[in-house]
Amino acid sequence: MSSRDQPMVSSKAELKRRDKMKKKSKSGGFESMNLSLNVFRGVKRKGYKVPTPIQRKTMPLILSGLDVVAMARTGSGKTAAFLIPMLQRLNQHVPQGGVRALILSPTRDLALQTLKFTKELGRHTDLRTSLLVGGDSMESQFEELAQNPDTIIATPGRLMHHLSEVDDMSLKTVEYVVFDEADCLFGMGFAEQLHKILTQLSENRQTLLFSATLPSALAEFAKAGLRDPHLVRLDLETRISPDLKLTFFTLRPEEKYAALIYLIREQITSAQQTLIFVSTKHHVEFLNVLFREDGIEPSVCYGDMDQDARKIHVARFRSRKTMLLIVTDVAARGIDIPLLDNVINWDFPPKPKIFIHRVGRAARAGRTGTAFSFVTSDDMPYVLDLHLFLSKPIWPAPTEEKVLQDMDGVMSKIDDAVANGETVYGRFPQTVLDLVSDRIRETIDSSGELIALQKACTNAFRLYSKTKPSPSKESIRRAKDLPHEGLHPIFKNVLEGGELMALAFSERLKAFRPKQTILEAEGEASRSKHMQPGQWADVMKKKRAVHEEIINLVHQQRSSKTINEEDDEPEITSSKKKEKKAAGSKRKAKSFRDEEFYISSVPTNHHMEAGLSVRADQGFGSNR
């Protein structure tokens, strides 16, 4: 080949290489983000092929050095969305560079999970990471800090402890700060620690806030020192995975133990892993002992549990040696089980955002899952608040009498409603609950440990009920007007026709009201025996003559109201009813407002924003 041809060949090779790079950049994959080779290898080794929506939206902004506030559904890849740009920015270890990145997590378990992800994604880099969380020895953490880590992953309390203990420890070199689960950090009482940590950071830092539930108003987060932050909010319409099935059971508080045992024994297969949320650590201990007495081996985890015991229990659950994990809300933040099948809300959460975080652990990565929730009469207003937040209709399961009249029609209607994303709530079969309750009562009465734990649970739940937030007044009012619910459709294949008939008769018996009072009945009996009726029978007769007309009128009004409710579409979303009413009105009042430019003081999505909001009295800037 002549020297004249060589430039032509080399230019062709260069053009091929450029075309290849252009194709990759247009692919929308991680190749288009111009990551360094070591970071890109770590991403590929982790098994990531295409960025998730939250990664695609936030990573270019973060890589360009902008402050970002991001909200996306639990399990959507938020952790990798801030770890990959961090590794790209830090690039390699600087021996005397000091701490250059800080990740703050609300709980120890979430910090451990973030550390695991950091090591896996940065396995091909020489970056050093230090973990500062409670429960570990300070001495070992001092040794880690002495090795000049590039990144610190910490809980606010333990980081503040180190800052007060170590004189020469400084955060002025930090250039990349992440608030992971930001709403939890802002709302868990860390305001004072976070305020002090922020004062020790450089003003030129890049700040990121990530959470599954963030309000649109950034006033509460502005005090965190964000500079012209970019807001990215995904999954606003589908805050819960469409592959997650929501199931709500109504029952009395004393029936929860029997319902849980029956659900685990009969409805959940032995190959499915289940997370059970309870309100207090005392309930965790009680259910742990009760399950073991019944031949079921669970794992447990709660806030002030011994750290070694917690590691053992969570590790056993992750390795599928146990299929049940009983947890409290605080302990569960950060427990990452990618193949979780079911979530059970033993105690219904008082806030919609807590429900989102709980059930978001199931139905990840294209898998299906189920969230079972136990609902008492006190919990029903919270359920209505949740469905206002989710913008989903909810209606009661049809009674057994209606099911017997037209089983195929009723069941097809329920299937259509569930397929359209609507929620149906119903009861457990009472005969089943009664049988299991008797067995559990015998187990508890024969165990001194269970009796003592049950007393502790009662006292703890009383305190928990006093401290949890109240539902909205609108939902309390609507909960009182809800019609009576029937058997939950999930049990339609469990009961035979004869059992359904017995349940229907039982429900009719409960609703039975005699036409006569006991005094009138005695009067009739004495008349039949040719005896003189008593004076009280005459009093009741006169009273009925005066009030019978009013009583009949009230009964007619109630029956007509029931008929109208059955004819209407069975949904409890009042805002949608108002919209239909407004749309059907012929005469529309004239308004001075220009709808295109008018900004209302009450946003149209105020139910959603109220569910996402962080309380102002727990604000980040508070220094009290």
SS (H, E, C) 386-397: HHHHHCCCEEEC
Q: How far is CA 12 from the centre of its chain?
A: 56
Q: Is the per-residue pLDDT at 577 higher than 50?
A: no
Q: Is the per-residue pLDDT at 533 higher than 60?
A: no
Per DSSP bridges, beta strands 176-180 and 101-104 are parallel
Mean pLDDT value across residues 593-610: 63
* DSSP assignment string, 266-334: IIS-TT--EEEE-SSHHHHHHHHHHHHHTT---EEE-TTS-HHHHHHHHHHHHTTS-SEEEE-HHHHTT
Q: Comparing 63-67, 272-276, 376-380, 528-532, which segment has the lowest mean pLDDT? A: 528-532
Q: According to the model, what pLDDT value does residue 571 have?
A: 44
Q: Based on the number of CB atoms within 10 Å of its own CB, is 466 exposed (0-12), middle (13-18) or buried (19 or more)? A: exposed
Cβ contact 185:330 at 8 Å: no
Q: How many residues does the chain have?
A: 624
CA distance 325 to 297: 10
Mean pLDDT value across residues 180-201: 81
Give 129's strand partners. 151
H or E element at residue 413: helix 407-419
Cβ contact 540:519 at 8 Å: yes
pLDDT tens digit sequence for 223-236: 556 788 888 988 66
Position with higher pLDDT, 25 vs 447: 447
Q: What are phi and psi of 152, to 5 degrees?
A: -120, 125
Cβ contact 277:358 at 8 Å: yes
Q: Pick the closest to residue 155 from 201, 117, 188, 202 (CA basis).
A: 188
Mean pLDDT value across residues 592-603: 62
Q: According to the model, what pLDDT value does residue 160 have?
A: 93
Q: Comparing 76-90, 387-401, 405-419, 501-515, which segment has the lowest mean pLDDT? A: 501-515
Distance between start and end Cα atoms, the chain: 80
3-state DSSP assignment of residue 50 = coil
Q: According to the model, what pLDDT value does residue 555 have?
A: 77
Helices marked H in 446-594: 448-467, 473-480, 497-511, 518-528, 535-567, 574-584
Cβ contact 328:302 at 8 Å: yes
Q: If pLDDT is split at 50, 70 and 90, which confidence band does 415 have?
A: confident
CA distance 344 to 261: 12
Q: Is the per-residue pLDDT at 581 higher than 50?
A: no
CA distance 284 to 277: 9
Gyration radius from the chain CA atoms: 31
Mean pLDDT value across residues 109-128: 93
Q: What are phi and psi of 372, to 5 degrees?
A: -95, 135
Q: Count the Cβ atoms, other than its own, within 10 Å of residue 196.
A: 15
CA distance 141 to 149: 11
3-state DSSP assignment of residue 402 = helix
Q: According to the model, what pLDDT value does residue 66 have?
A: 94
Cβ contact 341:370 at 8 Å: yes
The top-scoring range by mean pLDDT among 45-49, 74-78, 180-184 is 45-49
Q: According to the model, what pLDDT value does residue 13 have?
A: 57
CA distance 109 to 96: 30
Helices 78-90 and 53-63, packing angle to 10 deg? 30
